[in-house]
Chains A and B, each alone.
Chain A
Amino acid sequence: MKLNLKIWRQKSPSEQGQFKDYVVNNANEDMSFLEMLDFLNMDLVRKGEEAVQFDHDCREGICGSCSLMINGSPHGPETGTATCQLHIRKFKDGDTIVIEPFRAKAFPVLRDLCVDRTAFDRIMAAGGFCSVNTGNAPEANSILIGKEVAENAMDSAACIGCGACVAACKNASAMLFVSAKVSQFALLPQGKPERSRRVRQMVAQMDKEMFGSCSNTGACEAACPKEISLENMARLNREMLRASVTE
């Protein structure tokens, strides 16, 4: 398969970036999208050119390292998958693929397709945890949790923090991410004691990081590789209101 690539190249955060054209001549349809980029990089290194920088780690859709805006969609045209789970068979021979970094003030481009997503880490550090004595693993049935609650909390916890929601949103809002993280704790008994402080501090950090506010367009939900639901956002709003009138 022959693929024409238009890839964003940017040397450093301060320098102006631009699109550069590349051609991958013998791409295999069974390759993952990232393997195709590895293939291109091998070729570039062989020719003595600078390899295209991109983020990746587990390559099985669970770590949230990969990003990429592929033909205008975060993580590419497939729904419910991360870039690493996208395969070349989803494209046609001779296709032109535009590859950009995620664009948001809070996610500055470090180099080429790599963006700095530590704003998410700072939001998590602000309150996205449970302060409990760890010690030995507790007896599994000492705290009983209903099936529906456990499932909802698990669905929220499926968020891998990749930032696709921010990239998809016209306001570069991080509400879907923050709401998933607030929900995964707020739903469970272990997370309830700190729920008010948690939501206040995480939202305050989100605002401080210059993420936009939510316009309820739903673009984030459509782009999310883990299909995190907008219901989490309604829960975040409830949690914020609850925190402001109680405690």
Chain B
Amino acid sequence: MMKCKSFLSSSVGQKFLVALTGLGLSGFVLTHMLGNLLLFVGPNAYNLYGHKLTSTPLIYVAEVVLVTLFVVHVGLTLKLQKANRASRPIAPSQLPNVCVKRASFASRTMALSGLMILSFAILHLVTFKFGPYYAVTVDGVEMRDLYKLVQESFQKEWYTGFYLVCMVILFTHLSHGFTAAFQSLGLSNTHNTWLKRIGFVFALVVAGGFFSQPLYMYLAHH
């Protein structure tokens, strides 16, 4: 127990937790993106999916787990980021460019892209989860007409554009984060160099999927 506590209080242990929660959140965005693909099938399929998802009591467990993942991931990163700033006698902007630029753009801007995604996630919840309630009846069951809300939201050019920009930011965050998580967890070695590329592929699939949905809703209903 003491050993476990000292592990979690070390910088290595904290990065381990950031990686673990990051992978958990990656799993969430992947399933969220896959579920949203039902937008392409039609209003009934999408609304039924939303209804089934929110009418089981397990949704509360899932929500608690998700909020915990977010809090640990963001909280620990902010704590580590503060310590990282303190370990430099000069401001990051004054660091010599050459050595800094050897690291990828995505890897250098993780904290910033992460905070942008957090702000986006809050706004996203306000718009949809806590947004206006439209009712619809499918197969004799009354449920929330989420499809109508989604369709309505993505009629505005600027709003659709804002979503697309946010998905590019999500892409950069995932492209570095997904791969880096395996390094922090100690799973990468010389025999699995494909792990170095998996972040790019994962980010492309998730962000690409999310990118297509608002774009489709805008183009198909305009």
Contacts and interface: CB of A to CB of B under 8 A. Distances in A.
Interface of A: 69, 71-74, 77, 100, 103-106, 108, 167-168, 170-173, 175, 200, 203-204, 206-207, 210-219, 222-223, 230-231, 233-241, 243-245, 247
Contacts of B182: 234
12 contacts: A108-B89, A170-B103, A204-B6, A211-B87, A214-B15, A215-B180, A216-B179, A218-B102, A218-B104, A231-B190, A236-B12, A240-B186
B7 interface: yes
A170 B95 contact: yes
Given A216-B176, A218-B107, A245-B3, 20 more contacts: A69-B96, A72-B99, A73-B99, A100-B96, A103-B88, A167-B99, A170-B88, A203-B12, A212-B83, A212-B88, A213-B84, A214-B11, A217-B108, A219-B99, A219-B103, A234-B182, A234-B189, A237-B184, A238-B186, A241-B185
Given A170-B108, A217-B103, A218-B107, A210 B87 contact: yes
B44 interface: no
Interface residues of B, number: 44
A104 B99 CA distance: 14
Contacts of A235: 186, 189
Interface in B7-27: 7, 10-16
Interface string B62-96: 00000000000000000010011011111010011
B36 interface: no
A74 B98 CA distance: 9
A237 B99 contact: no
Contacts of B179: 216
B6 A241 contact: no
A215 B14 CA distance: 12
Contacts of B219: none
Closest 4 CB pairs of A and B: A72-B96, A238-B186, A217-B103, A244-B7
B96 A240 contact: no
B122 interface: no
B84 A105 contact: no
Interface string B168-208: 00000000100110111111111000000000000000000
B10 A171 contact: no
Contact of A73 (B11, B96, B185): B96
Contacts of B11: 203, 206-207, 212-214
A170 B91 CA distance: 10
Given A106-B87, A211-B87, A216 B99 contact: no
B103 A203 contact: no
B107 to A, nearest CB: 4
Nearest to B15: A213
A105 B86 contact: yes
Contacts of A173: 84, 87
Given A200-B6, A204-B10, A213-B15, A170 B84 contact: yes
A191 B110 CA distance: 36
Given A106-B87, A216-B180, A234 B15 contact: no
B100 interface: yes
Contacts of A239: 186
A103 B4 CA distance: 33
A228 B209 CA distance: 38
Given A203-B11, A244-B4, A74 B99 contact: yes
A172 B84 CA distance: 7
Given A105-B88, A105-B89, A240 B102 contact: no
B86 A210 contact: yes
A241 to B, nearest CB: 6
A214 to B, nearest CB: 6
A210 B85 CA distance: 10
Given A203-B10, A204-B10, A244-B4, A237 B100 contact: no
A213 B183 contact: no
Nearest to A108: B89
B188 A234 contact: yes
B98 to A, nearest CB: 3
Contacts of A74: 99
Contact of B87 (A69, A100, A105): A105
Nearest to B6: A200
Interface string B92-132: 10011111101110011010000000000000000000000
